[in-house]
A = this chain, B = another copy of it.
Amino acid sequence: MFERVALIGIGLIGSSISHATRRKGLAKEIVGSARTKSTLDTALKLGLIGKGYASAAEAVQGADLVILSVPVGACGPLAAEIAPHLKAGAILTDVGSVKAAVVRDMAPHVPKGVHFVPGHPIAGTEQSGPEAGFAELFDGRWTILTPEPQTDAAAVEKLKDYWTALGSKVEIMSPQHHDMVLGITSHLPHLIAFNIVNTAEHLERVTDKEVIKFSAGGFRDFTRIAASDPTMWRDVFLNNKEAVMEMLRRFSDDLAELKRAIEADDGDTLFRRFADARAIRRGIIAAGQDTPAPDFGRAHGASPGPTDEESGKSK
């Protein structure tokens, strides 16, 4: 499908793209660069790339597909760096969780004759780095592409076919709509997860040890999301401010209403709100976007035992 794919950034997403590309034989050659030498060495050792380059400028030379898999704040500077070295006719894309800001930062640098098609696979885990990737990450998930209307249709189609071959389904929308949709389906959930973990850590009347021990009551679910890469998420919030603020405002208004219902002993409102929330889970499972297995299919009784100190046996 491509002669030479250049991966700029080889973390969870970059390495998963490599695995999925090789699974289907979609590129003759995969090359890449990474911010740190240690990531580049690991990527070479794991066979994620055939050749590694110290700079992105070198890595993109001769590539007909260039994929930036870096925190969104790094996209603009990288676009400036690689621009003079991009091959005519190449497709340039990214995987950033924010799209309007990435277009704002990258588009001005893209040379004529290079097809810039911003993208975002809605897939991931809480792990980071080149060792975290796997070929199945995109299977059954959605990738959103946000090309400008004037972008070469053949280039958009080719990138769409590539993501489909990587296992993903593809939808096309505007960068602005993408940022609004992801504001509610991803950015606000992460902000809330980070926040409740911070809240739990700073209580005086409940110790961190108690939070950990009794986390199976629900809290532990939030800690998975809150374990995501802090650099990536810092950049998301700095670059999708407006949509995040709008979602946060609505969330806070709704929360104030639930709070009033609790204070007023209004059990009917609480019941109605809680019952409403069940339907969307059924929709997500029916759409193949989550497992139908209870508790995410978590292993039961198979987790490693606690340390003696934590077991509370001496009580």
Interface residues of A (CB under 8 A from B): 97, 122-127, 132, 134, 136-137, 139-142, 144, 167, 169-172, 177, 180-203, 205-206, 208, 210-228, 230-231, 233-235, 237-238, 241, 244-245, 247-248, 250-252, 254-255, 258-259, 262-263, 265, 267, 270-271, 273-278, 280-284, 286-307, 310-313, 315
Contacts and interface: CB of A to CB of B under 8 A. Distances in A.
- Counted per complex, copies of this chain come to 2
B254 A219 contact: no
Given A185-B206, A212-B283, 9 more contacts: A126-B281, A193-B218, A198-B254, A221-B225, A226-B274, A228-B274, A234-B267, A244-B262, A289-B306
B276 A201 contact: yes
Interface of A is mostly: helix
11 contacts: A140-B300, A177-B205, A184-B219, A185-B206, A195-B273, A212-B287, A216-B289, A220-B289, A224-B296, A230-B270, A234-B274
A171 B209 CA distance: 13
A306 B291 contact: no
A33 to B, nearest CB: 24
Contact of A125 (B286, B295, B299, B315): B295
Contact of A214 (B125, B181, B202, B210): B181
B193 A180 contact: no
Contacts of A288: 303-306
